[in-house]
Amino acid sequence: MEPDKKPGMNRRTFIKAGLAGTATALIAPPVFADALQQMAGAGPAAFPKPVYRTLGRTGLKLTVVSFGAMLTPEPEVIRVAIEQGVNYIDTARKYMGGKNEEIVAQAVKGMRDKVFIATKTLADSKTKADIIRDVEVSLKALGTDHIDVIQLHNVTGKERIFIAETREALTLLKKQGKVRFCGVTTHKNEAEVLNALVDDPDRFFDTCLVKLNFKAEKDVIAAIDRAAKAGIGIIAMKTQAGGYETAALGRVSPHQAALKWALQNPNVTAAIPGMKDMSQLKEDIAVMGMSFSYADTRRLDRYADAIAPFYCTFCGSCENGCPKGVDISTVNRSLMYAEGGYRDLTLARATYEELPLHANAALCTSCEECSARCINGLDIAAKMERARGVLA
Ligand code: SF4
Ligand code: SF4
């Protein structure tokens, strides 16, 4: 899909087509037809007019609510989103052990020109051969001849941004037309990573997919502002702070409020909430065009209080206090994938297994008293014990 091209079929046309039994409905596989019925039966409020923002210097115009595919087991959910105008799909080589890209491939079949696809190399890929291999495998799994945005996955410091072989590979892949733009993803030391993208004399990377939610620290928000002003396209992830379910708000979901909070920042082009099913899709895409309100502030305050006993911001500031060198923030992130709104034990274990043996929770067994202190008051030793039980 070209940078300035937007999806063609609007919401009303789509509903009409779905209900009237046109070719779209006739050729749709049964599950897709069910999904259409669900969406159509949900009433007009479920179909907002798409809202677009420009992804920094790439010029790509993305829907502000775009699609995080990491948890989506059914391509039909993604297909419905695309038909509703959502035009950016984010996946990764790692998700579902590589299967997630295949799900995206099924979803975009026949509609590749309506969407931009972003995927990620493996976190430990650094050499020229590694990066080229990852991209070639992704191209095949995605069933496409190009990736719109290729991202270095899980960058936790500035070093990886400057690896010469990585850049050499990406430059070659761009020349070959296999990738269009390059970015990084980060959910730890985000400010350092964002500032390094700006301070890079070559300004090599075009985009940053960054953890951003209502618990964000000021330095991260300032770094996002600086990067956006320098032309780096900013996409927000983990906007729902773990997506935990809580009874604290009664029947009111905090998740729309959390999404609106991220999107009220004009430096953010889009957010990519993970959407597993039709109800999550409807809840999230309805946010397009809504503004952040005082009521949303109150909801987020209550949600923040509810998750305070267990939500880790992955700031890493406790880690120097651990004599064993446990990577506490990554262990906690793995635990969040298992126990938060993700409920994805496979992703949780895959993330945990990426940790070197000298940094995982198994080391955390022999301290009489935990000397790692959490700035948010979490009981770190208890979290590590829980991680051993759930993930090891
Ligand atoms: S109890 Fe665990 S996390 Fe705390 S200091 Fe000891 S090894 Fe580190
Ligand atoms: S446990 Fe606390 S200090 Fe450590 S990374 Fe998480 S939020 Fe930060």
| b/e burial code for range 206-222 (CB count within 10 A of at least 16 → b) | bbbbbbbbbbbeeebee
CA pair distance 47, 9, nearest whole angstrom: 12
Question: Is 380 close to ligand 1, i.e. is its CB under 6 Å away?
Answer: yes
Q: Provide the residue ranges of all domains of the chain, joining segments of one domain with +.
A: 11-299, 319-391
Pick the residue with more confidence: 343 or 63?
A: 63
- Express as a percent the part of the chain with pLDDT over 90: 72
Does 150 contact ligand 1 (Cβ within 6 A)? Answer: no
Question: Tokens standing for 253?
Answer: 């979901």
> Quick one: CA dihedral 299, 305, 311, 314, positive or negative?
positive
Rounded to the nearest angstrom, the distance between the alpha carbon of 318 and the centre of ligand 1 is 10
322 lines ligand 1 (CB under 6 A): yes
66: amino acid identity, one letter: S
Binned at pLDDT 50, 70 and 90, residue 1 comes out as low
Residue 64 pLDDT exceeds 80: yes
Ligand 2 pocket list (CB less than 6 A): 312-318, 328-329, 332, 374-376, 378, 380
Average pLDDT, the chain: 87
Asked if pLDDT for residue 316 goes beyond 60, the answer is: yes
Would you say 258 and 214 are in contact if contact means Cβ atoms under 8 Å apart? yes
Least confident span in 201-210, 259-268, 308-317: 308-317
Predicted TM-score (pTM) of this structure: 0.85
CA distances from 131 to 58, 172, 233, 353 (A): 21, 11, 22, 20
Reading phi first (left if > 0) and then psi (alpha if -120 to 50, else beta), residue 95 is in beta
The predicted structure's pLDDT at residue 358: 80
Is residue 43 scored above 70 in pLDDT? no
**Which ligand 2 atom is at minimum distance from the Cα of 373?**
3
In this prediction, residue 252 has a pLDDT band, given cuts at 50, 70 and 90, of confident
Residue at 377: amino acid letter:
G
pLDDT over threshold 60, residue 347: yes
Atom of ligand 2 at shortest range from CA of 375? 3
Q: How far is the CA of 355 from the centre of ligand 1 (A)?
A: 16
Instruction: Classify each residue of 230-256 as buried b or exposed e, where b means 16 or more C-beta atoms within 10 Å of its C-beta.
Output: bebbbbbbbbbbbbbeeeebeeebbbb
Contact 148, 171 (CB under 8 A): no
Q: Which of 238, 320, 330, 376 has most ligand 2 atoms within 8 Å of CB, for mutation?
A: 376
Q: Please give the pLDDT value at position 213.
A: 95
What is the pLDDT averaged over residues 53-61?
A: 98
Return the top range by mean pLDDT from 146-160, 249-263, 301-315, 348-362: 146-160
Site to substitute for ligand 2 among 315, 333, 379, 383, most atoms within 8 A of C-beta:
315
- On whether the CB atoms of residues 258 and 241 are closer than 8 A, the answer is yes
**Whether residue 366 has pLDDT greater than 80:** no
Ligand of minimum distance to the alpha carbon of 381: 1
Distance from the alpha carbon of residue 7 to the mean position of ligand 2, in angstroms:
41
CATH number, domain 11-299: 3.20.20.100
How many CA atoms lie within 13 Å of 185's alpha carbon, on the beta-carbon side?
Answer: 21
Q: What is the pLDDT of residues 119-160, one digit of tens each?
A: 999 999 999 999 999 999 999 999 999 999 999 999 999 999
Looking at residue 88, its pLDDT comes to: 98
Determine the distance separating the centroid of ligand 1 and the alpha carbon of 215, expressed in angstroms: 25
The pLDDT, as a whole number, for residue 46 is: 53
pLDDT digits (tens, 9 = 90+) for 241-250: 887 777 776 7
